[in-house]
A and B are shown apart, each in its own frame.
Chain A
Amino acid sequence: MDSPGINPVKEKKGRGLLWSETRDGFLFILPWMFGFLIFTAGPMLASLYISLTRWEIVTPSVWVGGAQYVKLFSDDRFWLSLYNTSYYVFIGVPLHLLMALLAALAVNMNLRGIHYFRTAYYVPSLTPVVANSILWVWIFHPSWGLANAFLEWIGLEGLYWLQDPRLAKPALIIMSFWSIGGQMVILLAGLKGIPIPLYEAAAIDGANWWGRFWRITLPLLTPALFFNLIIAIIGAFQIFTQAYIMTEGGPNYSTLFYLLYLFRAAFENFRMGYASAMAWVLFIIVLLFTIIQFMLSDRWVFYEGDLRR
C-alpha cells in the first residue's frame, strides 16, 4: 500500500479506535457473548449453587451448604469411579499418544503409495463411538470373538475380556488404540512443518537417524504433542459411551467411570445436588491438571520462537 493518503484503513490506524468499528465489533460477537452468558457462565454458577442444595427436581430444593461434598468424599463409589477414570486417563492416554506418534512417524516416509497407508490408519478413527462399542463387544466376546480367536491362533488361552474386572479397563484401552488416526494426522502435520534444512544441516554434522530424531524431530514436535495431550486428557476424563454401552459400568463396578456415575446420579436417580457437586469436583480436577501441564510445559515444550530469543 503505497498511497496511505487515500487509504482510510491505514489513515485511521494512527487515530486509535473508531466508534463504528467498536459498535460493529461488539455487534458481531453478540451471539457468542450471549451464548457464553446463558450456556457457559450462567450454568457454571448455577451448578455451583445447585451443588450446595439437595434437589430431586420434583421436590423444592433445600440449601444444605457443603453437605453434598462431605457425602461425596465419604462415598466409596465416588472414589472407585475416580480411580477407574484415572486408570484410563493416566495409562490409556500416554499409550494412545505414543501409538499415534509411532504411526505418524511411520507414514511420514517419502515412499510411493504412502497416502494409501495414511488413509488406512486414519479411517478407523471415523467410526462413531456407539458403533465402535457394539463392534468391540463382539470382538471381545469370550467364545466367538476375534480377540480370543487371535489368542488361540498363537497358542494362548482365550480371556474373559469384558467379564473380568481386572481386564475390562485394559480392554477398553486396547480398543482405543484402534482410533489413533485423528491424533496421528495432527502429529503428521507437525512433522511436515519441521524445516528440511534443519535435517540437512544435521546430516552434514554427521547425525544419524536416531540423533536427528532426538535432537530435531522430537523437540520440534513437542508443541503438537502438548496440545494433543491436553485435549486427550480432558476428553479421557469424560469417558462415558464405551462403559455405558459395553459394560454398563461392570463387571463389579470395574468400568464405573466418573461420568457414568454422574449420569446415573443426575438422570436415573435425579439427585441434582449430588451430581452438580460431582461435576464441580471433576471441573476442579481437570482445571488443576491443565494448569500443572501448562506449568510443566516450560520444561519440555519447545516453541520455535525460543530460537530467536
Chain B
Amino acid sequence: MTSISGRSALEILWAGIWYVVLSIFAVTLALPLVWLISTSLKTGGQTFLMPPKWIPDPFVWSNYAEAFKAVAFHEYFWNTIRIVFFATTGTLLTASLAAYAFARLRFPLRGPLFLLVLSTIMLPSIVTLIPTFIVFRTLGWIDTFLPLIVPLWFGGGAFNIFLFRQFFMTIPLELDEAARIDGASNFRIYWTVILPLSKPVLATIAVFAFIHNWNDFFEPLIYLQSPENWTMAIGLRGFRGLYSTEWNQMMAASTAMILPLLILFFFAQRYFVSGIQMSGLAGR
C-alpha cells in the first residue's frame, strides 16, 4: 500500500468520487438479485407489501422445499447434467480435432474451408431449424436428448473450433516437430502433445458449454415434451405455469436455477475471464 502522503489531495478526492459512482452502479445492479432472494424467503403475505420489506421476517426456508416438492427439479438437474456431459464431450473432441487440422496441417482448400467455419458463426440458427426438426422427427428422436447432443459430435460449434484454433496457434511448433522426429503420427501429436497443453481452453469451453446447456430454452422447448425429460430451463417455465401467483415459491425456484451457476462462477472464475477474453479476440 502506498502511503497517503504519496498522493495529492486531488487524486484522493477523485478516487473517492469514483468509488461512489461505482458503488451506486453496483448497488443498482445488485438490487434485482437481492429482491429475488428476499422474495424467495418471504411468507405469502409479505410478498404483497408496499413499500417492500427487504429483510423477510420470518425467513421461510420451506418455500424451497415446497418448490422442490411441486416439480421434480432434481430430475431436471440430472437431465441437464447428462445433456451437458455428452454434448460437451462431443464438442471438445470434434471441435479440437478440426481446429488442430486448421492450425497445424497443410491441405488443399484449408483457407476457404476455415472461412466457411467462421461464416457459420454468423448464421442465424432459425434458418436451419425446421428441416432439422423434421429430420429428428423422422428419426424418432423427438422427446429424447439426442437432438441436443448428436449435432455437437459433428464439429462442436463453429465458435469453439475458432477458439481452439486461436489457442493451438500459441503452442510452439517446436513441440510438434520434436514429436515428429520421434516418429509420432499427426493424431498422436494432437492427442499427446497438443491436448495436454490445452487444458485452459478445454476447461473454458467445458464451462461455457455447461452454461449454454443450463440456460438454453429454445431447443429443449422444441425437442423435449414429457416432463420427465425436461431440463432446468423448461422445468422452471413449467413451474411458472403451475404457480403463477405464488411469487415467493417462484422466486425460490428461480434462485435454485441461478445458484449452481453462481457456484460454478466462483470456482472457475479464471476460465470465465479467459473465455470471454478469447472470444473478444474475434474483435481484433
Q: Which residues of A contact B (CB under 8 A)?
A: 1, 6-10, 17-18, 20-22, 24-26, 28-29, 31-36, 38-40, 42-44, 46-47, 50, 57, 103, 106-107, 109, 111, 114, 117, 119-124, 126-131, 134-136, 138-139, 141, 143-144, 146, 149, 152-153, 178, 182, 185-187, 189-190, 193, 223-228, 230, 234, 237-238, 240-241, 244-245, 259, 262, 266-267, 272, 275-276, 279-280, 282-283, 286, 290, 303
Contacts and interface: CB of A to CB of B under 8 A. Distances in A.
B180 interface: yes
Contact of A226 (B125, B132, B154, B283): B283
B25 A103 contact: yes
Secondary structure call for the A interface: helix
B35 interface: yes
Contacts of A275: 130
Interface residues of B, number: 99
Nearest to B36: A135
A31 B94 CA distance: 6
10 contacts: A10-B177, A26-B107, A36-B120, A39-B151, A47-B127, A106-B22, A130-B217, A149-B50, A237-B124, A275-B130
Contacts of A178: 29, 32
Interface in B235-284: 236-237, 240, 247, 250-251, 253-254, 257-258, 261-262, 265, 269, 272-273, 276-277, 279-280, 282-284
B280 A25 contact: no
A259 B126 contact: yes
B25 A121 contact: yes
Contacts of A34: 154-155
Given A34-B154, A47-B127, A28 B236 contact: no
Contact of B126 (A149, A226, A282): A282
A152 B51 contact: yes
Contacts of A237: 124
Contacts of B94: 31-32, 35
B74 interface: no
A149 B48 CA distance: 12
B98 interface: yes
B6 to A, nearest CB: 14
Secondary structure call for the B interface: helix
B101 A25 contact: yes
A36 B105 contact: no
Interface of B: 15, 18-19, 21-22, 25-26, 29-33, 35-36, 39, 47-52, 94-95, 97-98, 100-102, 105-108, 110, 113, 116-117, 120, 122-135, 137, 151, 153-156, 161, 173-174, 176-177, 180-181, 185-187, 190, 211, 214-215, 217-218, 222, 232-233, 236-237, 240, 247, 250-251, 253-254, 257-258, 261-262, 265, 269, 272-273, 276-277, 279-280, 282-284
A290 B122 contact: yes
A112 B50 CA distance: 38
A29 B113 contact: yes
A149 B52 contact: yes
Most chain B CB within 10 A, of A39, A109, A149, A244, is at: A39
Contacts of A1: 174, 177
B105 A153 contact: no
Contact of B236 (A130, A244, A259): A130
Nearest to B113: A29
Contacts of B217: 128-130, 240-241, 244
